[in-house]
Amino acid sequence: MPSTVRLHRVLTATPEKIYRAFLDPDAYAQWLPPNGFTAKVHSMDPTVGGTYRMAFTNFTSGHTHGFGGEYIELKPGARIRHKATFDDPNLPGETMTTIDLKAVSVGTEISVVQEGIPDEIPAEGCYLGWQDSLLNLARLVEPDIPD
């Protein structure tokens, strides 16, 4: 039975800056891979109905797994929904990821829900990976560096 993970964080950055970090290919490749992985974004068309393709590489083993999907909903500074499939036929099905952003007094509340995680990927491993990714996201978006 496919799994679902849910995460919640508050970051000291604006919703607009965090939203941009999800849709800028260079930023996404920098913060999304969990610790021990690198990422390459092969294509990204951040429009409703637009697609993306990317890959994670395990830095220890060198094994790469590709995935990609389609943007279902984009509300600037508020919501991103996208679906994805893995290139590996041993990882069947489709995941749906929803990221909700809400301005709060100290920055932005982020809620992430990823549904449909294949049985072959332990939910707790996915959860740990997202925790790494959100820490990396904070390191990218929280500094307020003037031009």
Q: Which two tokens stand for residue 50?
A: 């637009």
Partners of residue 112 on adjacent β-strands:
7, 99
- Per-residue confidence (pLDDT) for residue 8, from 0 to 100: 97
Q: Whole-angstrom Cα distance, residue 30 to residue 101?
A: 20
Under 8 Å between Cβ of 104 and 13: no
Q: Reply yes or no on whether the pLDDT at 147 is more than 90.
A: no
Residue type, 23: L
Q: Which two tokens stand for residue 4?
A: 């679902």
Phi then psi dihedrals of residue 122, to 5 deg: -60, 130
Q: Reply yes or no on whether the pLDDT at 138 is more than 90.
A: yes
Domains defined along the chain, listed by start: 3-36+75-141 (3.30.530.20)
Q: Reply yes or no on whether the pLDDT at 7 is more than 90.
A: yes
Average pLDDT over residues 112-118: 96
Q: What is the mean pLDDT of the chain?
A: 96
Question: Which residues, other chains included, contact 6 with Cβ-Cβ below 8 Å and sequence gap of 6+?
Answer: 111, 112, 113
Q: Reply yes or no on whether the pLDDT at 10 is more than 90.
A: yes
Q: Reply yes or no on whether the pLDDT at 77 is more than 90.
A: yes
